[in-house]
Amino acid sequence: MVVDLDVLEQNLERLAAYASKHNLKVRPHTKTHKIPAIAQMQMQAGCHGITVAKSCEAVVMAAGGLDNILVAYPVFGEAKANRLAELARDRQITVAVDSLTTAQGISYAAAKTGTLVRLLIELDVGMRRCGVSSPEEATALAAAIGKLPNVRFAGITCYPGHIWNRPEEQSAALAVVSDKIDAALSHLSAAGFECEIVSAGSTPTAFKSHMVRSLTEIRPGTYVFNDRNTMGVGACERSQCALRVITTVVSTAVPGRAVIDGGTKTFSSDRLLSGTQAGFGEVVEDPTIVFESMSEEHGQLDVSASDTKLCVGDKLSVIPNHVCACVNMHDRIWYHRNGVVQGSWQVAGRGKVL
């Protein structure tokens, strides 16, 4: 697994320029890479904090010097809440919640530790995964949070992860999200709850975030590397995909096929959610080669439409469908500039359990 540093840096700069133009803060989701050194590059590119998916990722990022961390997940469990409360001694910790139970757990841990944790209320804007369903529920939860010690209601958050439409349909879907957020903000405001933070995520819609009127910050993750999903939804070009998996052809015995030494344990088995919704990766050297199926350690290529005569030992570079899931299969990523390897990063946040 290798990353082109030039492309990575350009991706960071591109988002920073967009966000600056639209007066949006950027709090990138680091679950894409789980590497503190990349999070630090993001901070240097103007991000004002980071996002993580789990309390143990927060621990890893805090150890890597990151001091403004949002856990965009309804964290539940004493050990997890205690770790976050401890982290809040020296840094700003914010957690997304959608139930009083979760808020109470964090409040209890923070009160024991003597720290303050900020809470965002997650709003369901159409994905039907997490998040309160109505402005009334948001306000009721904000009021309940107001009575808990050592936590402070700081705003709302949502994840428009259901928007995988074709680019021309995204605008209408984002308008619905915008209206839902504004309805919640009005209801909260009428009850006396002002939102310092209005946060939304997702790379596919990152460069259309200004269409959601009231946002103060955005949380894209994938944009740092990009992938086939991002290309398929029209949110990046091929030249903006910073990460490749270098594979070796190990078998050409079956006519019309070639096998590379990467399967689901290298790429993950995530399907392509955008564009053609077909294939498990793009072969950079020859896009007419179809990456049609995988076993755990075998990638099966249909080479029947390709003029390339593959031989055992040939190297092929693959852009994965979903780079976050792919990175999570690896313990280390190598990085290069102009093809010269400069070093490697440990995927420090991978596989942690708390």
Residues found near a copy of itself in the complex (CB under 8 A) = 31, 53-54, 73-77, 98-99, 101-102, 122, 124, 128-133, 137, 161, 248-255, 257, 259, 261, 264-265, 268-271, 295-298, 300, 311-313, 324-325, 328-332, 351, 353
Closest distance to a copy of itself from the beta carbon of 10 (Å)? 25
Closest distance to a copy of itself from the beta carbon of 167 (Å)? 22
Closest distance to a copy of itself from the beta carbon of 148 (Å)? 15
Tell me the C-alpha distance between 270 and 229, whole Å.
Answer: 10
Using the CB atoms, write b or e for 324-343: b if 16+ within 10 Å. Answer: bbbbbbbeebebeeeeeeee
Task: Enter the DSSP assignment of 216.
Answer: S
State which residue, 340 or 353, has the beta carbon closest to a copy of itself.
353
Closest distance to a copy of itself from the beta carbon of 90 (Å)? 25
Interhelix angle 78-87/100-113, rounded to 10 degrees, is 50
Cα angle, residue 345 at apex, residues 225 and 203 outer, rounded to 5°: 20
Closest distance to a copy of itself from the beta carbon of 294 (Å)? 10
Structure token digits, residue 107: 């409040």
φ, ψ for residue 74, nearest 5 deg: -75, 80
State which residue, 42 or 268, has the beta carbon closest to a copy of itself.
268
State which residue, 211 or 329, has the beta carbon closest to a copy of itself.
329
Q: By CB neighbour count within 10 A (0-12 exposed, 13-18 middle, 19+ buried), where does 182 fall? A: middle
Do 130 and 124 meet the contact criterion of CB atoms below 8 Å apart?
Answer: yes
Beta strands 315-320; 92-97: pairing state: unpaired
Closest distance to a copy of itself from the beta carbon of 44 (Å)? 26
Tell me the C-alpha distance between 169 and 342, whole Å.
Answer: 41
State which residue, 21 or 128, has the beta carbon closest to a copy of itself.
128
Closest distance to a copy of itself from the beta carbon of 20 (Å)? 29
